[in-house]
Amino acid sequence: MRLTLLMLLAGSIAVLSAASKAFAAPPGNDGFQDVIGVYAVPYSTTQSTLEATLQLPDEPLCGDIGATVWYAVTAPANGTLKVSTVGSDFDTVLAAHSGSTLSALQSLDCNDDTGSATTSAVQFDVVSGATYYIQAGGFQSQDGQLALSIVYGTASSNDDFGSAEVVPQALPYTDPRNTVVATTEPPNEPEVVCSPSVPIGRTIWYSYTPSATRLVSATTAGSNFDTVIAVYTGDTLTSLTELACDDDTDFDATSAVQFVASAGIPYRIQAGGYLGDSGDVVFNLSVDTSDTDGDGFTDENETLHIGTSANDPCGNDGWPAELVGNDNRLNIGDFTSFIFPTRPDGSFHKFGHPVPDPQDASIARWNLDPSGSINIADLNALNPAVLAPTARPPMFGGQPAFFANVGNGIGGCPWPP
């Protein structure tokens, strides 16, 4: 009897506990009419959104938002307000509105995820003294502990493409900026980069025109958020051509690109955040001083090793003897590219081609110009050619893939010898 009573009592407590949780009171600012007023910024707070609701059918919907709470912020001056849920322990959705009644609200911004996290951020231009409404909720009505922060600011002087910061000739150059209220210029500013796969937002711009051709590195090392960087040529947003782009380096969430900057050409550099992430960005531009001839490749990469092996029936005979020294190294003066070597008949063959061209046996060696150097039309992809054992000719010390169709099919030496 005592055991039965204890079991009944325990079950009753569990039911009451579940009932009290299921029917807990919603947050005090669950409804639009019960907004929490914010009259000074910066502002930050935390609150529970357990049992928060939606006021349908009038409440505006930002994506899959649900379980919402409301804030009203008064702008301290003309500028930009940014609202963030960084620090929340659930997948948030955030929206900003203008207006005075729930059914007449006008959306200013809406966001689910910012950066690589599931928290949210919105930002919008404001007029001094005006009131703006912030709707914070959960993706598909998730709830939890909401962290909300509101900051005011003005965009950086190089926020727009047309007001890009001009980088001086003397390098290295470093420029720290804050991008918390940086913007993106619709509709023409690139918002998906790296041809195209990486979303970028809250951007700033730089312009660099070198007086001499040089190998240049642009990085965001020292930044405190997930950055993206892209380099372009072009004089307007609608005429940009992307030259280089990077999201994350091998070390952290900052970014780094390297490109050949030709004398007199203006280069436009866009630095921003992955999915609109923002914070303190550090932009760095430097020149690689080991590239003494200014062709865009460091001096150490302008020495090409010619190896031999048992799989190479030609040894060094694939190269003219006058170009190969005792150390089996070939010095190339201008290392600007390496995709298409010119063949004796004037045709081209791209390194890395998986299937030998039937004509390879008769056009197996590069032409030489009158100075006796190798005439390379494009030297842009040396590494894939050298590292792929099935795609390099005997003169690179690899398997004779380009000559597999010669004679009995077991390969042959390039000719003339």
The CB density around residue 23, as the number of other CB atoms within 10 Å, is: 8
Average pLDDT estimate for 157-175: 96
Helix (H), strand (E), coil (C) string for 242-286: EEEEECCCCCCCCCEEEEEECCCCCEEEEEEEECCCCCEEEEEEE
pLDDT grade for 139, boundaries at 50, 70 and 90: very high
Same domain for 417 and 306: yes
Higher pLDDT, 186 or 179: 179
Residue 290 has pLDDT above 80, yes or no: no
pLDDT grade for 296, boundaries at 50, 70 and 90: low
Q: Which domain holds residue 271?
A: 161-287
Same domain for 325 and 385: yes
Residue 82 has pLDDT above 60, yes or no: yes
Phi and psi, residue 166, nearest 5°: -85, 120
Same domain for 304 and 197: no
Q: Which amino acid is at 221?
A: A
3-state secondary structure of 10: helix
Write down the pTM of the prediction.
0.59
Residue 221 has pLDDT above 80, yes or no: yes
Report the run of H or E that residue 3 belongs to, with start and end: helix 2-22
In whole numbers, what is the pLDDT of the chain averaged over residues?
A: 74
Average pLDDT estimate for 159-175: 96
Domain final residue pick, 126, 153, 180: 153
Same domain for 74 and 170: no
Same domain for 171 and 139: no
Across the chain, how many H-helices and E-strands are there?
2, 21
Residue 385 has pLDDT above 70, yes or no: no
